[in-house]
Amino acid sequence: MVAISGVTPAVAGTSASSEPSERISFANQAELILTLVGYAVGVGNVWRFPYLTYTYGGGAFLIPYGLSLLLLGIPLFVLELGLGQLTRRGTLGMWTKLGLPRWQGVGLAAMMCTYLVGLYYIVILAWTIFYLGRTVAALPSGHLPWSDVAPGVTCPTKDLYLHQTVADSDYLVDSITGLLNSSFIASTWCPAKSGDQPPAEYVLKTLQPTRCPARMAKIFWEEQALNQSSGLDELGGLNPGLVVSLTIAWLVIWLIVFKGVKSSGKVVYVTATLPYICLGIFLVRALTLPNAFVGLKFLFEADFSHLADPQVWIHGAVQIFFSLGVGYGSIVAFGSYGSKSGNFVRDATSVAITNCGTSVLAACVVFPVLGFLAQELHETDPCISADSLDSLKSIGLSGTGLAFVAFPIAVSQMPGSFFFAILFFFMMLLLGIDSQFAYIETLATVLADAGWGERLPRPALAGLICFVSYLIGLIFVSRAGIYFLDLP
């Protein structure tokens, strides 16, 4: 039987004297809470939650999301944090302490899942470091690396169906802005769906615009950042820029975890709090952008018809599991380093609510930016509506597309574009670091509990984990790396 009040549980027949006399712990409860917030609040809050909200009915998605938080997320978070605090062990040793050694396979599965996630999650950090580095390097030029107005950029021709009364005008493209003359936008025909044919009074006109922000952002992502090959069957060698970025990412993670929670507990004072300052700055900027209202309207005007789709409820629950990080063993590991008398119910509940509140806050930043983006792209492509976000699907808003294509397009059109580009990728880096070191800390905790901590000093153990993981993860920064990451 597991004792709750001040008694350490153990396997029957095991004396308390055989337990380690002291376990490393956080300096205070604030470090534990900040670590948990940093672990739960990651890049998925910025790109995955807004995308799901965009896809599944706007505000209507908050209903399955909120119910999943209350019925699944908070109870599981409380359970895992409480078990860690009670047993003072990681996800593997916890079962032995509970007198259920045969259940260690569950802990092993959680540990392996966490490790595999960590292998590819850090690639997002590598992409972010690459973008951040290229942005800083481009400062002297005055043009972002994906800018469509940089010297030497040539935009492709654009086919449009224009009303025959204006098709032969000499002023279709404004000579100053390089955009389609706004007075002719209303005379453009756009297909409602694939295969639609234009009315007879509209004629095909090929134009040579000088602005193409969406195309340049996609080219930078696919050809410079990823330098992707044609498919899985063509590895194409390593991508040097991403190899350097991945190396930097793993060195940063090792420097954070090399002394366990003694070092990481201090780092989270910065990495778990600065993203909120960045989000606050972005929120003010986003709400003052032209056409921001269109984005906010899309977010808060709920389409309740989506609630009849089972996929909406499934994705609401999946997002809670994905965002809170329950089931990976990291919460158990961090709980084992907290105070033995900590109020784990209060702490777990507050962290879970903070995480979900951050997702909504991020959505309040992302959607006004998308509204602004819709207006900017409408000026370069009349078939992208400035009054709706639906047509933005053409630039790709799922997964990485929102963070590495859509947002870079938007910041490139803002005054002070370099400041906001650096701020965005710095924020993404901080969000990713906290989640990534949690994955590594989970594995290190399990190995230390298994006796590896007595054979290897903690810095060496952390270094071994990071180095082996780095070597395995090189496949994700090959030219075919994106295809491995996208495998179902």
10 Å CB burial of residue 21 (0-12, 13-18, 19+) is exposed
Q: Which of 210, 226, 243 represents a domain boundary (last residue)?
A: 210
Looking at the domain assignment, is residue 123 inside a domain? yes
- Global confidence as pTM: 0.89
Rounded to whole angstroms, the Cα distance separating 218 from 406 reads: 9
C-beta separation of 230 from 238 below 8 A: no
Residue 5 has pLDDT above 50, yes or no: no
Please check whether residues 299 and 352 belong to one and the same domain.
yes
Radius of gyration of the chain (CA): 25
Q: Which of 68-72, 189-193, 409-413, 461-465 has the lowest mean pLDDT?
A: 189-193
The pLDDT-based confidence of 18 (bands split at 50, 70, 90) is: very low
- pLDDT for residue 244: 98
pLDDT digits (tens, 9 = 90+) for 356-403: 999 999 999 999 999 999 988 888 888 888 888 877 776 766 668 889
Please check whether residues 182 and 327 belong to one and the same domain.
no
Rounded to whole angstroms, the Cα distance separating 228 from 218 reads: 12
Looking at the domain assignment, is residue 419 inside a domain? yes
The count of structural domains within the chain is 2
Looking at the domain assignment, is residue 2 inside a domain? no
Looking at the domain assignment, is residue 21 inside a domain? no
Looking at the domain assignment, is residue 11 inside a domain? no
Please check whether residues 182 and 271 belong to one and the same domain.
no
Looking at the domain assignment, is residue 7 inside a domain? no
* Angle subtended at Cα 356 by Cα 353 and Cα 358, rounded to the nearest 5 degrees: 110
C-beta separation of 417 from 138 below 8 A: no
Q: With H, G, I as helix, E, B as strand and everything else as coil, classify residue 23.
A: coil
Please check whether residues 268 and 416 belong to one and the same domain.
yes
pLDDT digits (tens, 9 = 90+) for 422-447: 999 999 999 999 999 999 999 998 88
Please check whether residues 173 and 83 belong to one and the same domain.
no
The pLDDT-based confidence of 2 (bands split at 50, 70, 90) is: very low
- pLDDT for residue 399: 67
Q: Which residue has the higher pLDDT, 226 or 393?
A: 226
Looking at the domain assignment, is residue 347 inside a domain? yes
Please check whether residues 260 and 392 belong to one and the same domain.
yes
Please check whether residues 31 and 101 belong to one and the same domain.
yes
* Angle subtended at Cα 148 by Cα 143 and Cα 153, rounded to the nearest 5 degrees: 100
- pLDDT for residue 384: 84
Name the strands in the sheet holding 158-163, side by side, starting at the edge strand that comes first in the sequence.
188-189, 158-163, 202-207
Please check whether residues 198 and 123 belong to one and the same domain.
no
Please check whether residues 43 and 173 belong to one and the same domain.
no
Q: Which of 210, 236, 254 represents a domain boundary (last residue)?
A: 210
Other CB atoms within 10 Å distance of the CB of residue 293: 12
Please check whether residues 174 and 314 belong to one and the same domain.
no
Strand partners, 188: 162
pLDDT digits (tens, 9 = 90+) for 318-351: 999 999 999 999 999 999 999 999 999 999 999 9
Please check whether residues 386 and 413 belong to one and the same domain.
yes
State the residue range of the domain holding 84. Answer: 27-147+216-485
DSSP 152: T
- pLDDT for residue 397: 66
